[in-house]
Amino acid sequence: MNDIAANIKIVQQRIHAAEKNFAKPAEPITLLAVSKKQSIENIKKAAEAGLYAFGENYVQEALSKIEMLPQLEWHFIGAIQSNKCTAIAEHFAWVHSLSSAVIAQHLNHARPPDAAPLNVCLQVNLEQSSNKAGIPPSAVLELAQLVMTLPNLRLRGLMTLPEPSANFEEQRKPFRQLARLLLDLQQAGLPVDTLSMGMSQDCEAAIAEGATIVRVGTAIFGERL
């Protein structure tokens, strides 16, 4: 077994252990392999080890990988520039990092009519003090309702990227907040089902709070170049 296949096994065991410890409902958690700055060879190894969903942050870098491996499911998880919306809408199955109405309209307009609707999560910035990407919690409902009106987008849920913390209880707090925001959307009648949260260092805490997609890079591929 190569290193990547061995790492994937370890990550899958971490996910299963967390699901068991926190008695999560039976819906399977998607392990999204974050392959930014990883070679096509490494991505192939992860696919051969059974992974299907891959996350990329940089459009230019992603396009050649997608061209070589179009059978995989590609998720865009990086900052979205408006001049990249067409490429994103044409080549990805998911966007996790939607944080503006204008970008939502561009993606909707650029999604090819013969493709399935683009799955989208809204990126939420839960740390009001930081200037990180994402919308504040108070803006979630309005953007969610706008996305619901766009026929070529399918609103799936919420994503967040919190400040790293070494403490498990501290790690859980922003994930719990995001889960509550998803519940608010469900109670407002929106058909959302996805919490994209948790990375190499904190996927157990995210699973404890109901993550449905964990985005894991380093723990699968090792340090990025």
Residues lying near ligand PLP in the complex (CB under 6 A) are found at 34, 36, 57, 77, 161, 199-201, 215-219
Cβ 123 to ligand PLP, closest distance in Å? 8
Please say which residue, 34 or 135, places its beta carbon nearer to ligand PLP.
34
Cβ 87 to ligand PLP, closest distance in Å? 18
Residue 176 and residue 163 in contact, taking contact as beta carbons nearer than 8 Å: no
Please say which residue, 77 or 135, places its beta carbon nearer to ligand PLP.
77
> In angstroms, rounded to a whole number, what is the distance separating the alpha carbons of residues 108 and 152?
5
Instruction: For residue 169, give the H/E element and its range.
Output: helix 168-187
Please say which residue, 134 or 210, places its beta carbon nearer to ligand PLP.
134
Cβ 199 to ligand PLP, closest distance in Å? 4
> In angstroms, rounded to a whole number, what is the distance separating the alpha carbons of residues 97 and 76?
7
Please say which residue, 80 or 89, places its beta carbon nearer to ligand PLP.
80
Cβ 34 to ligand PLP, closest distance in Å? 4
Please say which residue, 153 or 206, places its beta carbon nearer to ligand PLP.
206
Q: Is the dihedral of CA 194, 103, 38, 166 positive or negative?
A: negative
The DSSP code for 80 is -
Nearest residue to the partner ligand PLP, using Cβ: 217
Instruction: For residue 167, give the H/E element and its range.
Output: none
Cβ 167 to ligand PLP, closest distance in Å? 17
Alpha helices by DSSP H, listed for 27-139, are: 40-48, 59-68, 85-91, 101-110
> In angstroms, rounded to a whole number, what is the distance separating the alpha carbons of residues 178 and 79?
19
> In angstroms, rounded to a whole number, what is the distance separating the alpha carbons of residues 208 and 217?
20
